[in-house]
Chain A
Amino acid sequence: DGGITQSPKYLFRKEGQNVTLSCEQNLNHDAMYWYRQDPGQGLRLIYYSQIVNDFQKGDIAEGYSVSREKKESFPLTVTSAQKNPTAFYLCASSIVDLRGQRNQPQHFGDGTRLSIL
């Protein structure tokens, strides 16, 4: 989906460093999500946001932080408190269907692969 752009594609983190992963979407979606994917495992939810200036913790939020100041942007910061940050990070977005009251499919970005130096 060309509508979701993640950058950078590869990122390296030094000991004690915070790094920020970018996620931008031009699909006019209200909801945005961050997932972590480890080799051979499924997607685990880090944070999600259904509306600007509001976000909720997912299942593995410790060591991560987010902001949602604009509808199209949902950056993820991997802090030094996250002791095992090496993983593939996926950002996704979806429509919030208030009228039909039905969940809509998520659209994913190409991911950022984070490694430790």
Chain B
Amino acid sequence: GENVEQHPSTLSVQEGDSAVIKCTYSDSASNYFPWYKQELGKRPQLIIDIRSNVGEKKDQRIAVTLNKTAKHFSLHITETQPEDSAVYFCAASVYNFNKFYFGSGTKLNVKP
């Protein structure tokens, strides 16, 4: 099955700096890659996603890049704010199975 690895496990940045979280996957058939943000004690919420026919996607301060050849994808957050502090999860899935494989999470701390 698919194996998704996520790094770093914790990330601390100063407010206004950029943050980058990286994930690798093992199954070349994976074609959909969502990112979720989970605040303490709350449900994960989708923040951005990318499909395998696209190399990059942006939504305001958030962007995701995908390198299919290297089988890795990254989340980029620019101009970080304290409210960006949360745990971020990447995931990968293959169509027709409707199964999602999640990374182990990155705890982002944005210091004011």
Contacts and interface: CB of A to CB of B under 8 A. Distances in A.
Interface in A36-77: 40-45, 48, 50, 58-59
B44 A108 contact: yes
A31 interface: yes
A31 to B, nearest CB: 5
B105 A109 contact: no
Contacts of A15: none
Contact of A31 (B6, B45, B98, B104): B98
Interface residues of B, number: 28
Which of A40, A43, A102, A103 has the most chain B CB atoms inside 10 A of its CB?
A103
Contact of B95 (A31, A35, A102): A102
A107 B9 CA distance: 24
A85 interface: no
Contacts of A31: 98
Nearest to B43: A108
B45 A42 contact: no
A108 B95 CA distance: 19
A105 B49 contact: yes
A109 B89 contact: no
Interface string B43-68: 11110010100000000000000000
Given A90-B43, A101-B96, A108-B36, 13 more contacts: A35-B102, A40-B105, A48-B98, A58-B99, A96-B98, A101-B95, A102-B51, A103-B31, A103-B32, A103-B95, A106-B100, A107-B46, A109-B43
